[in-house]
Amino acid sequence: MSRTLQKSGSGWSVGVVHLALAIGGFAIGTAEFATMSLLPFFARGLGIDQPTAGHVVSAYALGVVIGAPLLAVLSARASRRTLLLVLMATFAIGNAASALAPTYGWLLLARFASGFPHGAYFGTAALVAASLVPVERRTRAVGRVMLGLTTATILGVPLANALGQLLGWRWGFAAVSLLALLTCVALGLVVPRDGPAPEASPLREFDALRNAQVWLTLAIGAVGFGGLFAVYTYLTPTLLAVTRAGPATLPVVLAVFGVGMTLGNLVVPRFADRALMPAVGGLLLWSAGALALFTIAAGDLWSVSLAVLAIGMGGALGSLLQTRLMDVAGTAQGLAASLNHAAFNVANALGPWLGGLAIAGGYGWTSTGWVGCALALGGFAIWATAMVTNARASRRGALPPAGTIIFHDTPGEPLCVHDG
């Protein structure tokens, strides 16, 4: 699948292109997480109870799960630069509609529309970022794009929440819409122009679904990443009820989580570029240990903060699995890359649901740590299955030797690296 990337007329550096892509991730991450923090305000403003208002968050996640594969297939022959611009413009419109929504029903629809481009944007941005660097630095490039999402948990969410409290909840969504429009301008200026692959087609994207390694990689994310969400969703009530932290301390601990995610995306990809699948397995075990530690450390503010930092670092799993999908998806790069974010939204539903069952069952707020540990170990079990089936396929000659780089028909443009 050949695509010809050219330098933009202004000759921007790769770092600047990665920054523009990350700003889009910052806008999306801010909208996704800030909606949870603005929930009491738009519930009151629209005259609905908070459990009903929570369906707005679910509507966004549903938009991600449906939109990611659908847009990836329909846009198979589109220029990636054009696709990024259309996706970010759609995201801007969805958030503007959220700010103007007159009723709960309209807000539900607007949040669904806002989630629609989420997975396709991150998938396409990761492919563009990786295509601009040497093959041995792909995971770091993907990690830089994901830094936008992790930074949103440190800066974007508190700012949107503060704006929503000062001027009204609608301004939180309006600010995200404006940031998305500014991202469109940045992307249009710095992202290199590319031509659509002549042999690409919507049907060809479905080739990814025939590959067992694609499904196993998605399952690792859907299960293994659920542990992080099991704890994060109930972190605030745990801090209040178990740690006895004051309300003023809560934003600090939540920011520590964001710092952990940012550090993870800066540090872990450097190891993954040397040995991708071993790094995935190691990170899942790290997450399992950190989530178990959370249960033990929850009684003390300093110890629980360290545990939350370690749990946040496990968020680098998204970047690693994104690169893994590039390796195993063959010619169906767009669909596989987008499905990664659909899988993580499955984790976003699975983790809180299981954590909620444990709490409702009388096991206490800290039981979410054990639930999360079990999910991380479940992801590790799927990872082990992927490694075993990959090794068997290699012995049968179905895969090239480990370390083989497969190229597009465009000279020098890598398609994937088989790392065994």
Q: What is the pLDDT of residue 339?
A: 82
Which residues, in sequence order, are CB contacts of 283 under 8 Å at separation 6+? 268, 314, 316, 317, 320
Residue 67: its H or E element: helix 50-74
β strands within 118-230, DSSP E: none
d(C-alpha 255, C-alpha 151), whole Å: 9
Q: Under 8 Å CB-to-CB from 32, ≥6 apart: which residues? A: 60, 115, 118, 152
What structural domains does the chain harbor?
A: 1-200 (1.20.1250.20), 201-420 (1.20.1250.20)
- What per-residue confidence (pLDDT) applies to 216? 94
103-146 pLDDT, tens digit per residue, is: 989 999 999 999 889 888 988 888 888 888 888 788 888 888 88
Half-sphere exposure of 416 (CA within 13 A, CB side): 22
Q: What is the pLDDT of residue 26?
A: 93
3-state helix, strand and coil shares in percent for the chain, rounded to the nearest 5: 80, 5, 20
Sign of CA dihedral 302, 306, 311, 312: positive
Q: How far apart are the first and last CA of the chain?
A: 23
Which residues have CB under 8 Å from 317's CB, separation 6+? 220, 221, 224, 225, 280, 283, 284, 287
As a whole number of angstroms, the distance between CA 207 and CA 127 comes to 17
The residue behind tokens 């249960």 is: 295
**CB atoms < 10 A from the CB of 183, how many?**
27
SS3 (DSSP) at 376: helix
* pLDDT tens digit at each of 420 positions of the chain: 334 444 433 367 888 999 999 999 999 988 877 776 677 778 888 888 766 776 787 788 888 888 888 887 777 777 888 899 999 999 999 999 999 999 989 999 999 999 889 888 988 888 888 888 888 788 888 888 888 888 887 888 778 877 877 888 899 899 999 999 999 999 999 888 876 665 555 666 666 677 888 899 999 999 999 999 888 878 878 888 899 988 778 778 888 988 998 899 888 888 888 888 999 999 999 999 999 999 999 999 999 999 999 999 998 998 899 889 888 877 677 777 778 888 888 888 788 888 888 988 899 989 999 999 999 999 999 999 999 988 887 777 655 444 433 434 333 344 444 444
Closest CA to 311 of 281, 284, 291: 291
| Beta bridge partner(s), residue 405 | 417
Q: Maximum Cα–Cα distance for the chain, whole Å?
A: 63
Give me the pLDDT at residue 205, please.
63
Instruction: State whether residue 406 is helix, strand or coil.
Output: strand
Tally of residues, the chain: 420
127 in Cβ contact with 333 (< 8 Å): yes
CA dist 257 and 269 (Å) reads: 18
What pLDDT score was predicted for residue 221? 94
389 close to 277: Cβ distance less than 8 angstroms: no
